[in-house]
Structure 1
Amino acid sequence: MRSIVDRLRQRYHYSLVILRELVKTDFKLRYQGSFLGVAWSVLQPLMLFVVMYLVFAKFLRMTDGTPTYPVVLLLGISSWQFFNESTSIGLRSIVDRGDLLRKVHFPNYIVVVSATMGALISYGINLIVVLIFAIFCRVHFTWRVLLLPISVFQLYILALGFTLIMATMYVYFRDVSHIWDVLQQVIFYSIPVIYPLTAVSGIHHWWGPVVAKLLLLNPIAQSIQDIRHSFIAPETTPTVWNQISNPFVTMIPILLTVIMVVLGVCVFRKYNHKFAEVM
């Protein structure tokens, strides 16, 4: 067993060194020249939270009626910001690092992974801020907080799968970034991030609960709801696990996540050897 670990370490040591240095460099350059620096990784979701809370919770009265809703909203926005940042920056990572890829020989996928890892670091900082807010709001934590890393990992690999596909497409078609900007807005408003799922399921028509369950089959919505459920509000946060009784249906978001990751890896591996020629 030890020999297998040693062989894996020797095989991927160079790649891990490159990945670590790229993550450090990307994270430093991301806020270079700004006065507040890394603080922007926290301020961006906080400012979006303030706007959305005032508009949707205070003005439109779209809340779940619980005292923990502001923290739940902040956690949802922070989780979405992570997905958004991972895909938006990772999408351009191959083209932006084109000169480096031509000069230094290392696996191309490291560039994409480093972009998503930088977003993951920012997300970790945001989770600490959410924790502080949760303590201030006297959130009652349960043992389910131990499940949080699983849901975060799912959201990460889902973002990585999306990013691998779009980074590959962006090398050939620059219009992908503009299309993705529009699709992100569609996805953002189609999943319960800034509004509670009860706002959909509570509609007084037969299709309200049906649409709410369909929304939970989106792996992005499912993973964000699971993060909220595990971290902040297990009693009041609807998830695919407590809203759908059919165990085969509840596995659809997980299956879609696996398909997205496998598809992303396959597409990237098929075309990455042509990146230098195309760029």
Structure 2
Amino acid sequence: MDGSPSVGRLTRDERAEGWRAPGQDHGWLNPLYERFLLRLLVKKELRVRYRGSVLGMLWSYVKPAVQFVVFFIALGVFLQLNKGMPAYAVYLFSGIVVVNLFGEVFGNCTRSITGNQALVSKIYLPGELFPWSSMIVALVHFVPQLLVLVIGALLYGWVPSPTALVAFVLGMLILLLLTMGLGMLGAALNAAYRDIENFVDLITMVATWLSPVMYRITLVKDSLGDSIWWWLYALNPLTIAVELFHTAFWRYGPLVVEGAVEDPSLIPPEGPFGYWWVGLLTAAAVFAIGTVVFERSKRRFAQEL
């Protein structure tokens, strides 16, 4: 024996410097331990997505802008939903950015394993890096939309406040936990059953219209009354996230400036943050379920692809 280290094992000095033996799996903490690989995957996804594109990142502005114009004309002007609702443009766009982020994170995460088939089946990479990199790419696209929303709200007299900040943070936390949980669950199932990604598109479309994005939630309450259907709608985490964004950029912004905040039909009776605790608990449960299913399925990804 010459005292040299065995293949695949690290010396004491290498361990002291933070080196790790290749192939170690840290489960759902892999994105934290493998930050360098995560950054590489994010850069790869951004380059691939905009390869050969003339507008590039400008599509982050074009798509929500077209959505906003279509919805505002069809619903705000033709159906006159903007009448009697102050700053309807801010109300509408603050909901649009939520459902857009929901749809992109959910859809991209679901397709993250099948979309990286060559990497998953040929080399070892922690499986969690793929849905997490997809989520980060979606956040990169979300930032320009958020910037447009902030500028639009400022034009209506919005001034940042502690209430608005807390509502925004809660809304983002609920939204990301929910979408990452659903996305990791979808990614695990989509590796075995390709039909799942088609269901994701349907769910995103339904979520856009069943969330209080283009209409006030009070209209739903008036229609459903105090039935079980109303409570299922009101306690949906996506509904709660949309309403928290409304609180952040609409209720405690333009409505205060225009003096309409006293209107009881514009402020939820349960307070400015609504049922945020229900949304947070539900989203956390979905995230935990999605993570567990993904962890148990990832070892079969190479064979299933």
Letter in 2 for 1:154: I
Cα offset for 1:107?
1.0
CA distance in 2, matches of 1:225, 1:180: 23
Query: Residue in 1 aligned with 2:245?
Result: 227
Deviations 1:98-121 (A, max 9, x none): 211233322101101100111011
Letter in 2 for 1:89: N
Which of these residues, 191, 194, 208, is aligned with residue 188 of structure 1?
A: 208
1:271 to 2:297 alignment: yes
How has the CA–CA distance of structure 1 residues 244 and 104 changed in structure 2, closer, same or farther, with 3 Å as cutoff?
closer
Deviations 1:151-176 (A, max 9, x none): 21221121100000001110000111
1:92 to 2:111 alignment: yes
Richer in helix (by share): 1
Deviations 1:198-238 (A, max 9, x none): 322344xxx33655554220001101211221233234755
Identity among equivalent pairs (%): 26
Deviations 1:227-277 (A, max 9, x none): 2212332347555842899xxx76432221111001000000011001001
CA contact (8 A) 1:62 1:199 kept: no
CA distance in 1, matches of 2:52, 2:241: 34
Q: Which moved more, 1:144-153 or 1:75-84?
A: 144-153
Which of these residues, 214, 219, 225, is aligned with residue 208 of structure 1?
A: 225
How has the CA–CA distance of structure 1 residues 53 and 208 changed in structure 2, closer, same or farther, with 3 Å as cutoff?
farther
CA contact (8 A) 1:197 1:238 kept: no
CA distance in 2, matches of 1:86, 1:144: 26
Query: Residue in 1 aligned with 2:280?
Result: 254
CA contact (8 A) 1:169 1:176 kept: yes
CA distance in 2, matches of 1:177, 1:265: 18
1:179 to 2:196 alignment: no
CA contact (8 A) 2:170 2:276 kept: no
Query: Residue in 1 aligned with 2:34?
Result: 15
Name the larger-Rg structure: 2
CA contact (8 A) 1:229 1:239 kept: no
Give the secondary structure class of the aligned counterpart of 2:225.
helix
Query: Residue in 2 aligned with 1:3?
Result: none
Letter in 2 for 1:208: G
CA contact (8 A) 1:86 1:116 kept: yes
CA contact (8 A) 1:168 1:268 kept: yes
Deviations 1:73-125 (A, max 9, x none): 11110111111011112111101112112333221011011001110111122
Where does 1:145-160 land on structure 2 (aligned, <5 Å)?
145-147=164-166, 148-160=168-180
CA contact (8 A) 1:102 1:276 kept: yes
Give the secondary structure class of the aligned counterpart of 2:271.
helix
Deviations 1:19-39 (A, max 9, x none): 111112212322222211101
Where does 1:115-130 land on structure 2 (aligned, <5 Å)?
115-130=134-149
How has the CA–CA distance of structure 1 residues 244 and 157 changed in structure 2, closer, same or farther, with 3 Å as cutoff?
closer
Give the secondary structure class of the aligned counterpart of 2:251.
coil
Where does 1:68-147 land on structure 2 (aligned, <5 Å)?
68-147=87-166
CA distance in 1, matches of 2:50, 2:126: 26
CA contact (8 A) 1:172 1:278 kept: yes
Where does 1:156-171 land on structure 2 (aligned, <5 Å)?
156-171=176-191
Which stretches in structure 1 are left out of the alignment for 5+ residues? Answer: 1-5
CA contact (8 A) 1:75 1:130 kept: yes
How has the CA–CA distance of structure 1 residues 244 and 74 changed in structure 2, closer, same or farther, with 3 Å as cutoff?
closer
How has the CA–CA distance of structure 1 residues 254 and 149 changed in structure 2, closer, same or farther, with 3 Å as cutoff?
closer
